[in-house]
Amino acid sequence: MFHKEGHKIILITLFIVVGAIFAIDEFIAIEWLRKSLMLLIIVFFILILQFFRNPKRHTHANEEHALSPVDGKVVVIEEVFEKEVFNDKRIQVSVFMSPLNVHVTRYPISGRVSFSKYHPGKYLVAWHPKASEENERTTVVVENEKFGKVLYRQIAGALAKRIVNYAKVNSSAKQGNDSGFIKFGSRVDLFLPLDADIKVSLNQKVKGGESVIAEMK
């Protein structure tokens, strides 16, 4: 199953791949070179398909849990001062996505979307210290009675050239449902209350919509 954001790109890439294979077969006479080029093109197409895959996730909705919004590796767990929305301290948990990860963004908690904003910006590598403030990004806040307000920020990376955000202010967010998509590599920062019990560790691999990032009791 492929995400709707990839349908157009997959179709265009398919036409290009088929055309390139016919051209190589027609104009490249050296057999080993012809086969190598065809193989490279097929591998490229498989990578595009893998990037836009959207596997079904088995989300166990729980109002006491904040789930990972994306697939990837936990690269930051620290107390920070969040200055865009809260203007106070929060626990930041950041998940880095490689180009091979599923890039669907999912709601970490259920509730009401109280803030949603797009910021144009640079395309620094996603792990750059200033990426969260200078790169293209979106900021979304979902609030409910258990967690209060939880902020997640989609951040573009060096390859990501488009962030898709479905979250609209005053809309209803359902834990684990699609809330956006980041095309070609990036990271997502999650900002949680200071009294949240963090359930992940650095370098741990997590799955969007399934892995528990934090718990509020």
| pLDDT tens, position by position, 45-66 | 888 887 778 788 889 889 999 9
CATH number listed for the domain at residues 65-215: 2.70.70
Q: Where are the domains of the chain?
A: 4-51, 65-215
Is the per-residue pLDDT at 116 higher than 80?
Answer: yes
Q: Are the CB atoms for 50 and 26 separated by under 8 Å?
A: no
CA 146 to chain centre: 25
Average pLDDT of the segment spanning 196-217: 95
179 is catalytic: no
Question: Residue 165 forms beta bridges with which residues?
Answer: 180
| pTM recorded for the entire structure | 0.83
Q: Which one of 15-24, 77-86, 115-124, 183-192 scores highest in mean pLDDT?
A: 77-86
CA 124 to chain centre: 16
Query: Which of 14-18, 77-81, 196-200 is least confident?
Result: 14-18
Inter-axis angle of helices 7-27 and 31-51, nearest 10 = 180
- Spatial separation of the C-alpha atoms in residues 217 and 212, rounded to whole Å: 14
Catalytic choice (116, 132, 186, 211): 186
- Spatial separation of the C-alpha atoms in residues 69 and 189, rounded to whole Å: 9
CB atoms within 10 A of CB 107: 28
Average pLDDT, whole number, for the chain? Answer: 88
Distant-in-sequence, close-in-space partners of 182: CB < 8 Å, separation ≥ 6 = 70, 97, 103, 105, 154, 155, 156, 160, 162, 163, 164, 188
